[in-house]
Structure 1
Amino acid sequence: MKVLVTGGAGFIGSHVCDAFLRAGHEVIALDNLSSGKRENLDPRVRLSVRDIRSPEAAELIRNERPQVICHLAAQMDVRRSVEDPRFDADANILGMLNLLEAARIAGVKKVIFSSTGGAIYGEQDVFPAPENHATRPVSPYGVSKASGELYLGYYKAQYGLQYVALRYANVYGPRQNPHGEAGVVAIFAQRLVAGQPCTIFGDGGQTRDFVFGPEVARANLLAFEKDYVGAVNIGTGIETDINQLYAGLAEAAGSKAQVTHAPGKPGEQRRSCIDPSLAKKVLGWEPSVGLSEGLRKTVEFFRSKAREPARASG
């Protein structure tokens, strides 16, 4: 089948492209390259450089008529959403509506939406949070992702457009951009490999559920293959605080550098952890890469990237 991956040249998107290629599908990546990179893509993926908010993006969907759209392109920085809610809504709500209208016209069968399993729940009542937990986002980013899920429900009811909303935990791994995308693992890994100091915002006791990027890509493929409609958590169900995370990364990098602390940032939750048991039941998905292994692979990626300029100049 023909699959369109928005944000396909990005960190998670490029892993999703790889997963669908391995399964034998034709893959098109739509990306404006604001944070994605051509080098992330397998040469077999056709890249169309367009913004999801543009008429050209809608035109691409109408002309290519993919059977499935994996929608990953987004403004994904919680802190930026707090600073500029209108920009967040423009990209994450209006951009998505542009794609959904084109998908409706083009006869797309299914949309697999990259939602959020942390920001959508807000300050949780239970840990880990199941899909039926109340959605009380405390950031515009969380609000925009919740809105995306509601619009998908509307398009399913009105037009029969099938969908799965994958509520990701904190995704990390190779290819994550420490500059253009939110991601404490990528930021710390790059700095540790370079021998630079790291800063933790707040006391470091805030917790997150960290899930490995290629595992998330596998969830997208399974969501395509199964008939389930609705929201599904994609996480590990394990809380890790930022101090523990830093220690794990420092060990993987062989660094003894001391970390500094700075004031916490607004719009961020204290604790976040999601229950992945529904994913196992309806998708056959469960995490298989533990945090220590995933951090080691991530550090190896950033170490190899740090060596590239030296090889090029030699």
Structure 2
Amino acid sequence: MEEKILITGANGQLGSVLANALIERYGSNSIIATDLKHKIKFKCYFEVLDATDYDGIQTLVRKYSITQIYHMAAILSATGEKRPHLTWDVNMETLFNVLEVSRLNNIKKVFFPSSIAVYGVDVPKTNAPQNFATTPNTVYGISKVAGELWANYYFNRYGLDVRSIRYPGVIGYQSLPGGGTTDYAVEIYHKAINQEPYECFLNKTTTLPMIYMEDAIRATIELMEAPLKNLSVRTSYNVAGLSFNPEELASSIKEILPEFQISYKPDFRQDIANSWPESIDDSKARKDWNWKPKYNLKKISADMIKNLQLHYNYKTQKS
């Protein structure tokens, strides 16, 4: 049976790259990208969709005979603290809609993105365990914990195959930052390429788990394609790439762009970062579906700078 894959939040930082990866893997006719607006020209079907609209999701599921849903629509951590009620409403209502539509229409698989934001201040800072109390102090983190529990419930109660990853901070050149606490690690490269100093909103020694976009997308697809019998985690898998702090990241950039300058002015996002672990234990993912990252910090900086230089040179030539 041909797969028909629906993606919500396809304009987003992760969703946009995931959509293109799925198009390349399954073909243009198998992918239906959706979002609130048609901002990106995908080489596949695109439908304007508000994921808070239950009937809208169901209409598309039936129109295209959808077999899988990647639910990427969400409000992220830093933005969420500014608008907590909206964040809770959007993040939870969209997930409920996807889970219910999937249950009632016999969807084979659903992907739900979780986050290291599920952890709270009590979590061990080093190698945060897969199975540890999740007591977040952000609305975004609370919504992700709730989402993990609902994913587990729908699997156990209805047999709906919901799969999930707790993403660390995601670094990529393909899109602009989307309002997350770890987005400094994307913003910093744009400043460096444009020969501008960067004022970091975290202090220089704040170590956080990160993952390069290519690794994050590969992990997502590998998990979704893993045999059901191999999976032992029905909440959300820890997935690690690497850990570093802003000072270490700036040093890796200076190895390529020695004139780059950085300063530090922590804001409310520092408190969010302080509640998260410095590294996470992803041994379950490695055992269950052979997860392994490919990118270290040196490779990330080289690839980010190369691709962003091409991007900005192209924009200059077009203007």
Q: TM-score, normalised by structure 1?
A: 0.89
Q: Is the 8 A contact 2:79 2:179 kept in 1?
A: no
Alignment of 1:25-36 (within 5 A): 26-33=30-37
Indicate the residue corresponding to 2:164 in structure 1: 165
Indicate the residue corresponding to 1:24 in structure 2: 26
Q: Distance in 1 between matches of 2:78 and 2:23?
A: 34
Structure 2: any 5+ residue segments left out of the alignment? none
1:223 maps onto 2:223 in alignment: yes
1:275 maps onto 2:281 in alignment: yes
SS for the counterpart of 1:199 is strand
Q: Distance in 2 between matches of 1:37 and 1:276?
A: 35
Structure 1: any 5+ residue segments left out of the alignment? none
Q: Provide the identity percentage.
A: 26
Q: Distance in 2 between matches of 1:53 and 1:4?
A: 15
Alignment of 1:72-151 (within 5 A): 72-76=72-76, 78-116=77-115, 118-123=116-121, 124-151=123-150
Cα distance 1:31–1:255, how it changes in 2: closer, same or farther (>3 A)? farther
SS for the counterpart of 2:308 is helix
Q: Is the 8 A contact 1:75 1:88 kept in 2?
A: yes
Q: Is the 8 A contact 1:210 1:291 kept in 2?
A: no
Moved over 6 A (4+): none
Q: Deviations over 1:255-280 (max 9, x none)?
A: 42332221332541324321222111
1:309 maps onto 2:308 in alignment: no
Root mean square deviation of aligned Cα:
2.0
Alignment of 1:131-210 (within 5 A): 131-178=130-177, 180-182=178-180, 183-210=183-210
Q: Deviations over 1:158-186 (max 9, x none)?
A: 221011111111111121313x4431122
1:245 maps onto 2:249 in alignment: yes
Q: Distance in 2 between matches of 1:306 and 1:188?
A: 15
SS for the counterpart of 1:119 is helix
Q: Deviations over 1:178-231 (max 9, x none)?
A: 3x4431122111111111221122432111111111211111211222212522
**One of 234, 242, 261 as aligned partner of 2:239:** 234
